[in-house]
Structure 1
Amino acid sequence: MNRFDYVRAGTVAEAVQAFGAGARFIAGGTNLIDLMKYEVEKPGRLIDITHLPLDRIEAHGDGLRIGALVTNAKVAYDDRVTERYPLLRNAILAGASAQLRNAASTGGNLLQRTRCYYFYDVATPCNKRAPGSGCPAIGGMNRIHAIFGTSDKCIATHPSDMCIALAALEATVQVNGPQGERSIPFSEFHRLPGESPETDTNLAPGEIVVSVDLPESRFPQHFTYLKLRDRLSYAFALVSVAAGLELDGDRIKTARLALGGVAHKPWRNREAEALLEGKPATRASFQDAADLIVAEAKPQSENGFKIDLARRAIVRGLEQAAAGTPQSLSDKRIQ
């Protein structure tokens, strides 16, 4: 691990002012410290933001405002989240471990970096770590990699569970930086790799996440977070589905669907959501939506299985949501 300066910020303004080339904000550190140990990240300065007043969950309009320093565990077990946004709760509890959820922050969850084998191995090329060096995952070991939104520069996937639910809930990210405050719709917060895979988000230099705002309560009854992985616990998703439905009788009034484990960012297909609206909440409708989504998949040499896995997961997730029987948190096996 390289040597670095340490600064403790007392206010958001101090944190922004302390930022400069080679600096990183640190809160729970559950991802950044790992990256520093592997020498993937070599910050010259760490700005400790754990003393900022961003550790509360508060009412905000008809929704909730979750401070950037609220731990994942605190979000998951907050009564208001449990009652009004159970999709978010279930997604958080499907990820990591209890120890990590106690330390990991909301803002940090948004900013965690990919778990690509090559990204973590500094002895190999990686365009995300060293732009222009190449992407050995293309044609290499790519079983866990993306099937949507890839480029010839990067096929890595976004690792978060929480972010998949936030995408389906259409949250908004509040940030502060050298140019002041601004709001970023969640769909625009993360980036696809394109020509610059080293840039994961649309944050400007020096900007810090202040909060995540949830809109009016959606899908408190008809939802699920379905996570398919190699192990039943403590494993990243091969494919995950965050599904929320509003029903009018036996027909779908509103549908929101986000996928994890398949792209460089939480993956949504608004055409598929629109296709579901007004249709009966039946397996046939769900299969049509799933077929539309996977039609644009571009598999690599080892991850073609994800196409059928995603298709079946989408149908199963929508069936769970429609029936009001979300995936169990205690028994992770898919029935």
Structure 2
Amino acid sequence: MKPFAYERPERVEEALDRIAAHPGARFLAGGTNLVDLMKLGVAGPSLLVDIGGLPLDGVEETPDGGLRIGATARNSDVAAHPVVRARYPVLSQALLSGASAQLRNAATTGGNLLQRTRCPYFQDTSKPCNKRAPGSGCPAREGVHRDLAVIGHSAHCVATHPSDMAVALAALDAEVRLIGHSGERTVPVTAFHRLPGDRPEQDTVLEPGELITAVTLPAPPPGARSGYRKARDRASYAFALASVAVVLTVEDGRVGHAALAFGGLAHKPWRAREAEEVLRGAPATAETYARAADAELAAAEPLRDNGFKVPLARNLAVSVLRELAAGADGTDAPGGRTGGGTAP
């Protein structure tokens, strides 16, 4: 690892000042991704500004019935929080499906959103990679890409975003609260991460020197059920080949609210707007769910070795929609009810 300095400010303003004064500085929270990248030589900050001591770790209800999750709240604490389990089970399930218990005890909400791709070419400094070294090329397109993107990718990058949590947040219409020297702003989670286009090195819309302070969730729709499912190569401690987060209401046999997001398929959590249009107001049937998934995944452009992800994602979506809809009709089903019910 390259030598680096370390500071631990006591106030947000002080942390922003430290970053602004050192162009090569990075914020540090749990460090579960950044420290690994430093060991690999992918990241080499000259200064680590540790924000772990800042008062950004709270999880509290908001006056409008939503939830505010601080940027340094640990993933394990958020997953176990009674309000998250009761009202937002899709988020709890997504967090518990990611990494190990030890990593969840260290990883933070903000860090989870900012974690970088696990594409092997990005992590290997002996290989070219447009995300790590812009203009050097993307050997993954013709090389090892089984785990990589099938939708929303570009000629410059086929990496996927690794977060489970962010997929659930996308389906929940969460927002990211940011602060910098120019002030505070709020960005929808669905707009926070970028598709690669011709600038794959830019993962997010975060401006230089900005700090994530919190993620806010709106109140869930009345009677909604939500769930997360992930397909991976082994039963635990593996990133998603494909995953799906769903928030759903069903009334009188028809779909009301429908929010769906895929993980493991794209450079960012993929909000399935086409599928949602098909679902809303349609009969709550397996045929509708399949038609909705097909409408969304029609835009997929799989590479040589990852075409299996398209039917995998389709089947995951149909399965979760069926189970949540069955529970909404009063029968037992996996997945939790939001807005006052109990999580599994």
Mapped to 2, the partners of 1:302 and 1:311 lie a distance apart of 17
Map Cα deviations across residues 212-243 of structure 1 (whole Å, 9 max, x no partner): 00101247752221100100111000000001
SS at match of 2:228: strand
The CA distance in 2 between the partners of 1:209 and 1:220, in whole Å, is 31
Whichever residue aligns with residue 237 of structure 1, its letter is: A
TM-superposed CA distance for 1:21, in Å, is: 1.4
- Residue number in structure 2 paired with 1:18: 18
Equivalent in 28, 40, 63 of residue 42 of structure 2: 40
Report the Cα distance in structure 1 between the residues aligned to 2:221 and 2:53, rounded to whole angstroms: 32
RMSD: 1.2
In the alignment, the residues of structure 2 paired with residue 217 and residue 313 of structure 1 have an alpha-carbon distance, to the nearest angstrom, of 22
Secondary structure of residue in 2 paired with 1:167: helix
Q: How has the CA–CA distance of structure 1 residues 220 and 262 changed in structure 2, closer, same or farther, with 3 Å as cutoff?
A: farther
Alignment partners' CA distance in 1, 2:222 and 2:32: 30
Alignment partner of 1:303 is 2:278: no
In the TM superposition, residue 208 of structure 1 has moved relative to its aligned partner by 0.3
2:107 alignment partner, one of 104, 109, 114: 104
Q: Return the alpha-carbon distance in structure 1 between the equivalents of residues 334 and 139 of structure 2.
A: 38
The alpha-carbon distance between structure 1 residues 142 and 327, as it changes in their structure 2 partners (threshold 3 A), is farther
Other structure's SS at 1:137 match: helix
> Distance between the aligned counterparts of 2:120 and 2:222, measured in 1?
36
- Counterpart of 1:184 (choices 187, 194, 197) is 187
Contact 2:324 2:334 in 1 (8 A): yes
Contact kept in structure 1, 2:223 and 2:249, CA below 8 Å = no
**Is 1:59 equivalent to 2:67 in the alignment?**
no
Q: Which runs of 5+ in 1 are unaligned?
A: 329-335
CA distance in 2, matches of 1:319, 1:31: 35
Change in CA separation of 1:153 and 1:176 when aligned onto 2, cut-off 3 Å: same
1:1-335 to 2 correspondence within 5 Å?
1-19=1-19, 20-61=22-63, 62-218=65-221, 222-324=225-327, 325-326=333-334
Say if 1:147 and 1:297, in contact at 8 Å, map to a contact too.
Answer: yes
Cα deviation 1:240-259 (Å, max 9, x = unaligned): 00011011121101100000
Please give the per-residue CA displacement for 1:54-101, whole angstroms capped at 9, x wherever unaligned: 011112232010000100000010111111111110110111111011
Matched residues in 1 for 2:279 and 2:146: separation?
30
Taking the aligned partners of 1:314 and 1:224, their CA distance within structure 2 comes to 10
Alignment partner, residue 342 of structure 2: none
Q: Which amino acid aligns with 1:231?
A: R
The 1-side partners of 2:51 and 2:34 are apart by 14
Aligned equivalents of 1:133, 1:46: Cα separation in 2:
28
Rounded to whole Å, the distance in 1 between the matches of 2:326 and 2:233 is 26
CA deviation vs aligned residue, 1:4-28 (integer Å, no higher than 9, x gap): 1111111111111111311110010
> Number of paired residues?
328
Tell me how far apart the structure 2 counterparts of residues 225 and 109 of structure 1 sit (CA, whole Å).
Answer: 17
Counterpart contact for 1:107–1:211, Cα < 8 Å: yes
Q: Supply the AA of the counterpart residue of 1:74.
A: D
Q: Quick check: 268-277 or 34-43, which moved more?
A: 268-277
* Cα displacement (A) at 1:278: 0.6
